[in-house]
Amino acid sequence: MTRLVVVLGDQLSIELASLRHATAGKDRIVMAEVREEARYVPHHPKKIIFLFSAMRHFAEKLRGLGWQVDYYYYDMGYGSLLEAVQHSQQKTMASEVLITECGEYRLQNAFRQEWPTALKVPVQILHDDRFICPHEEFQAWAKGRRQLRMEYFYREMRRKTGLLMNGSEPEGGRWNFDSDNRARYQGDPPCPTALRFAPDAITQQVTNLVKTEFKDHFGDPEHFALAVTREHALQALTHFIEQSLPWFGDYQDAMASDHDSLFHSLLSPYLNAGLLLPLEVCQAAEAAWQQGKAPLNAVEGFIRQIIGWREYVRGIYWLTMPSYLENNVLNSTAPLPALYWGAPTKMFCASQAIRVTREHAHAHHIQRLMVTGNLALLLGVDVEEIHRWYLAVYADAYEWVELPNTLGMVMHADGGLLASKPYAASGKYVQRMSDYCGHCHYKVGTADQSDSCPLNALYWHFIDRHSKRFKNHPRMAMIYRSWEKMDQQKRQRIIMRGNWLVANSDSL
């Protein structure tokens, strides 16, 4: 009997478990562009162009390999994945639906609870073994630990994969070279130009559709240049390994007004949609080190992001959902400032982070964490609102990876489950790591004046309003001592300015 194999927009890998468990020519694949997935947040137009085009190319590839594919185009008007699968099921009288677990609790729950009843056939859900750490392994690792820390999880993943290992010891005698990775970028070596892929006929067709159907979504659909096939994604990987990896470590935390992505890989949309696999990407980086083409601090730093952070945030997501979404321990409820949706701002750092987001559906990690993230944390922006913003605006955004980064790493809303202390910072951090402050209307050297960098007063405001929670935190005690030593009147002026900024965040 025929089975239906559902392939989601972020499951575009030939190695996918459900494809391995099915038979080309006998079983039938269902892929669908549907309103529910395209509209659960107002996705950036480039994210939708990327996914729809990559899905259409993948369907072509599957057909070329002998698969029968039912592909539902957006303009066929299907509301949900279930509706599309129901249509194929009624047409084929398939006996079973096969699917690889997905990246979002909402949909995974629907597969379990709704689909078997609605479809009247069994729905078999397979583990997604493109990831390195299965859920059970993460649960076993987390069980009984007083604190979860990425660093210890990461070491387990190094041992498991053998990446950068010399027997049972880490290559270079250290697990982590992060302390070597904090340089400010001064223009040398020159940054590579990003690899751009000219849109083919499929991408052009999708772009026209997106420009019409999603014209109300934040983001620029023009100049789309992402890879939409595995072949091109592999070219992007090679480009990164050759052109950027050697300096990835040194400038990982830097920001520069002339260079939107510095030496970052820009591989996250491909990894998350399945065009590249995490292990192959790490192995390519390790090979570059073995061949003497990239130093250890760069390669270790890069691999840590993938087998460390990426797997760790996924583990936390599935360990804690759905209750993770409810966390808001700092009671953050302020509205998201209009600048996040493109309103003008005098803060140069924020205007840069939003500009790259609007243009590319991408911003690098430090822009997300220390600019838009830090500002939202200091202002106390509503956790759900900022979560939905991050989920909407980046081409790599899926809830399993976005939510722990936003709610845990940025907003500290989980009370320290993901990271021990908040990444709160004043304007000094931006000044140290970028050239932004030199272009800014505000003065980074002061905190209590009407033209002082808003991050400065907001930082102390945050420290003051959360003193009960953080005062005795061993890594924050020094900050509280500095705050308490500050002149009483200056403190008052800073708090007044902080109050004003929180209340007038649309005027930043």
Which stretches of the chain bind ligand FAD, using CB under 6 A?
Answer: 264-268, 271-272, 302, 305-306, 309-310, 313, 364-365, 368-369, 373, 390, 394, 396-397, 401-402, 405-406, 409-410
Sequence-distant (6+) residues with CB within 8 A of 380 are 330, 331, 332, 333, 334, 462, 465, 502
Distances (CA, A) of 126 to 67, 90, 98, 134: 19, 23, 8, 11
Question: Residue 393 interacts with ligand DLZ (CB under 6 A)?
Answer: no
State the nearest-atom distance from the C-beta of 106 to ligand FAD, in Å: 15
State the nearest-atom distance from the C-beta of 54 to ligand FAD, in Å: 15
User: Which of ligand FAD, ligand DLZ, none does 104 bind, CB closer than 5 to 8 A by kind?
Assistant: ligand DLZ
User: Which of ligand FAD, ligand DLZ, none does 50 bind, CB closer than 5 to 8 A by kind?
Assistant: none
Show contacts with ligand DLZ in window 8-47 (CB under 6 A): 8-10, 32-34, 37-38, 43
When binding is defined by CB under 6 A, the residue of 97, 107, 391, 409 that contacts ligand DLZ is 107
Distances (CA, A) of 449 to 483, 491, 499: 17, 12, 13
Show contacts with ligand DLZ in window 54-83 (CB under 6 A): 81
State the nearest-atom distance from the C-beta of 45 to ligand DLZ, in Å: 10
User: Which of ligand DLZ, ligand FAD, none does 265 bind, CB closer than 5 to 8 A by kind?
Assistant: ligand FAD
| Positive or negative: CA dihedral 269, 273, 275, 279 | positive
Query: How many other CB atoms are found less than 10 A from the CB of residue 334?
Result: 16
CA 317/CA 85 separation, integer angstroms: 27
Two tokens, residue 99: 């699917």
Give how many residues touch ligand DLZ by CB under 6 A: 17
State the nearest-atom distance from the C-beta of 463 to ligand FAD, in Å: 21
Using DSSP, state whether 72 is helix, strand or coil.
strand
User: Which of ligand FAD, ligand DLZ, none does 32 bind, CB closer than 5 to 8 A by kind?
Assistant: ligand DLZ
Question: Residue 398 interacts with ligand DLZ (CB under 6 A)?
Answer: yes
What letters, b where the CB count within 10 A reaches 16 and e where it falls short, cover 386-404? bbbbbbbbbbbbbbbbbbb
User: Which of ligand FAD, ligand DLZ, none does 383 bind, CB closer than 5 to 8 A by kind?
Assistant: none
Which of 182, 179, 187, 297 is CA-nearest to residue 246?
297
Report yes or no: 277 and 15 within 8 Å, Cβ to Cβ.
Answer: yes
State the nearest-atom distance from the C-beta of 286 to ligand FAD, in Å: 14
**Residues in contact with ligand DLZ, shown as a per-residue x/- string from 335 to 374 under the rule CB under 6 A:** ----------------------------------------
Residue with structure tokens 């659909």? 221
Using DSSP, state whether 51 is helix, strand or coil.
helix
Amino acid identity, position 464 = D
Of the pair 51, 271, the CB lying nearest ligand FAD is at 271
Of the pair 98, 430, the CB lying nearest ligand DLZ is at 98
Sequence-distant (6+) residues with CB within 8 A of 229 are 54, 57, 58, 61, 275
State the nearest-atom distance from the C-beta of 123 to ligand DLZ, in Å: 15
State the nearest-atom distance from the C-beta of 169 to ligand FAD, in Å: 24
User: Which of ligand FAD, ligand DLZ, none does 396 bind, CB closer than 5 to 8 A by kind?
Assistant: ligand FAD
What letters, b where the CB count within 10 A reaches 16 and e where it falls short, cover 166-203? eeeebbeeebbbbebbeeebeeeeebbebbebebeebb
Question: Residue 311 interacts with ligand DLZ (CB under 6 A)?
Answer: no
User: Which of ligand DLZ, ligand FAD, none does 406 bind, CB closer than 5 to 8 A by kind?
Assistant: ligand FAD
Amino acid identity, position 80 = S
Report yes or no: 284 and 277 within 8 Å, Cβ to Cβ.
Answer: no
Question: Residue 102 interacts with ligand DLZ (CB under 6 A)?
Answer: yes
User: Which of ligand FAD, ligand DLZ, none does 313 bind, CB closer than 5 to 8 A by kind?
Assistant: ligand FAD
- Residues in a beta bridge with 126: 100
State the nearest-atom distance from the C-beta of 496 to ligand DLZ, in Å: 43
Angle value at C-alpha 321, between 315 and 326, nearest 5 degrees = 125
- Residues in a beta bridge with 124: 98
Of the pair 30, 397, the CB lying nearest ligand FAD is at 397
Question: Residue 275 interacts with ligand DLZ (CB under 6 A)?
Answer: no
User: Which of ligand FAD, ligand DLZ, none does 37 bind, CB closer than 5 to 8 A by kind?
Assistant: ligand DLZ
State the nearest-atom distance from the C-beta of 505 to ligand DLZ, in Å: 29
Question: DSSP state, 259?
Answer: B
Of the pair 396, 448, the CB lying nearest ligand FAD is at 396
User: Which of ligand DLZ, ligand FAD, none does 161 bind, CB closer than 5 to 8 A by kind?
Assistant: none
Of the pair 27, 399, the CB lying nearest ligand DLZ is at 399
Two tokens, residue 469: 């929670």
Output the DSSP codes for 334-402. BPPPGGGGT---S-HHHHHHHHHHHHHS---HHIIIIIIIHHHHHHTB-HHHHHHHHHHH-TT--HHHH
Task: Report cis status (omega within 30 of 0) of the bond before 474.
Answer: no
H or E element in which residue 57 lies: helix 45-64
Task: List interacting residues with ligand DLZ (CB under 6 A).
Answer: 8-10, 32-34, 37-38, 43, 48, 51, 81, 102-104, 107, 398
